[in-house]
Amino acid sequence: MRRSEFTELADHVFGPALARAYARDLVLEDLGGMTAEQALEHGRPVRSVWTALCDAMEVPESDRWEIPPAQRAH
């Protein structure tokens, strides 16, 4: 998973404004008390950061990985 995919999925799941706020401000215990942005900056695997964010926000597994083609950015 690339960081651009993380951003695209986060925008889809949470909406752009909330996605940025969650990545910047939400402290994630699964990431050792770092935010998603901090974890990514420290080189944590993007997929594990995405999973930790989704777990913290209780995003169902079925909503985490797929953006319908009609809703994808071009």
Classify residue 38 by burial, with Cβ atoms within 10 Å: 0-12, 13-18, 19+. middle
pTM to 2 decimal places: 0.87
Tell me: the pLDDT tens digits for 48-61?
999 999 999 999 99
Three-state helix/strand/coil letters over the chain: CCHHHHHHHHHHHHCHHHHHHHHHHCCEHHHCCECHHHHHHCCCCHHHHHHHHHHHCCCCHHHCCCCCHHHCCC
Average pLDDT over residues 33-57: 97
